[in-house]
Amino acid sequence: MEFEVNRNNCDAVKHATRKRIWDEMERRQLVRYPLPLQGRIPNFNDSRAAAFNLCSTPEYRRAKVIKVHPSLNAAWIRGLSLKHGKTLLVPPLPGNRFLYFRLNRRDLPRDINWSYVASKRGFNQYGTPLSLKEIPRVDLVVVASVACTRAGPRVGKGKGYGEVEYGIIGILRDVGAVTAETPVCTLVHDAQIVEEADLPSTALAVHDLPVDFIATNTKVIRSSSKLPKPTGIQWDLISEQMMKDIGALHELKKFRNDSSFR
């Protein structure tokens, strides 16, 4: 019972932080379409500047394969990754039976519109679906956030899809998809940075994904602590809707006893 109470308290802390950020950013007109912001990853003003700040980091410059979330505020970093010759991994629309599309500029038309191919419609048109066994080693993970702290804790919009997705590739660690040292970062507006008292590390569940650094519209922030990252799937938290939306979970169930995944 104590565990349930504590977990509920943690969920309440995260929900309160999300709501405050959603309300503040909408009130200050710091976001663009889609609105209302409640329940969404903020498509914040100056996301272009945040993307260029991310590009300035050694983690980005070294990376050959970058996984980026599909939300609108990451369109600039998706486009820049392709222009810079990176291999881009991005999730498809809900309901597909694979985890990522793969895109690389060498596979795209020479006269491609980078803004289009970086959009959801574009990467769903030009991306190559990958089975779990085809996912390459990921050098940098860009995860979506509603709020985060300078210490590393972050929260998404509350559905847990980003955590499940990371948990899937976490299971693939033995075949090189990610390691415990694979850097994880996020793109946010300065207004999405909250104090540690508002989002303490103790509020994170075992499946929550922290970040190693943050690229905002004005700066890069290095996390002040090294928090553990999830390594698998909490199957008891997987809903029927999540199974439908993240079709790769079916493939994972099918192959999780396969010797090639051990």
* Tens-digit pLDDT profile for residues 115-142: 899 999 999 999 999 988 889 999 999 9
List the chain residues with pLDDT less than 50.
1-5, 259, 261-262
Provide the pLDDT for residue 5.
Answer: 36
d(CA 71, CA 202): 27
Provide the pLDDT for residue 30.
Answer: 98
Provide the pLDDT for residue 176.
Answer: 63
Q: Which of 195, 191, 184 is nearest to 217 (CA)?
A: 191
Strand spans (E) along the chain: 65-68, 87-90, 100-103, 128-130, 140-143, 147-148, 154-155, 184-187, 213-215, 220-222
Provide the pLDDT for residue 126.
Answer: 95
Tell me the longest C-alpha to C-alpha distance in the chain.
Answer: 60
Provide the pLDDT for residue 4.
Answer: 39
Residue whose token pair is 């810079």: 84
Residue type, 111: D
Question: Over the range 67-91, which residues count as b (16 or more CB within 10 Å of their CB) and which as e?
Answer: bbbbbbbbbbbbbbbbeeebbbbbb
Other C-beta atoms closer than 10 Å to the C-beta of 11 total 13
pTM recorded for the entire structure: 0.90
